[in-house]
Amino acid sequence: MRKINKIIVHCSATPEGRNVSAATIDKWHKERGWSGIGYHYVVKLDGSIEYGRMVDKVGAHCKGHNKSSIGICYIGGCDSDMKAKDTRTPQQIASMLELIRILKKLHPGVEVFGHRDFSTKECPSFDAKNEYCNA
């Protein structure tokens, strides 16, 4: 098993209310020439969690940090004009918190970040580092 020291939260950069699956993101990433979905988990609008890439495999979600991180992507992150917006549903908020708590138990010492902490992007459209620091 690889050494995990970061959980990096992302958004799918899709308009609020548009439901997308891990299979759809997998298709998008393959169209970009990747081997498949870059995230390890996808949190849908109803709070259900889908597997993306297996956790024992290096992700493709945050340049320079994939080797030691787990990528979580929630569906949404943009308003109808495709501007950054925290669009998480109450179900997504609850599921993401529970998933992060579980991952922190499985990987002691892991820290949570938003993609924006390593990029000029606004992803995931909220301050994940601050929100999950005590999860």
Active site residue 74: no
Active site residue 29: no
Find, among 13, 37, 10, 1, the residue nearest to 112 by Cα.
10
User: Partners of 69 in the beta sheet?
Assistant: 6
Selected catalytic residue, list 6, 11, 29, 39:
39
Active site residue 115: yes
User: Partners of 79 in the beta sheet?
Assistant: none
Active site residue 65: no
Selected catalytic residue, list 6, 61, 115, 132:
115
Amino acid at 97: L
Selected catalytic residue, list 10, 61, 65, 107:
10
Distances (CA, A) of 93 to 10, 90, 122: 13, 5, 18
Q: In whole angstroms, what is the distance from residue 33 CA to residue 76 CA?
A: 23
Active site residue 121: yes
Across the chain, which distance is largest between two alpha carbons, in Å?
A: 41
| Residues known to be catalytic | 10, 39, 115, 121, 123
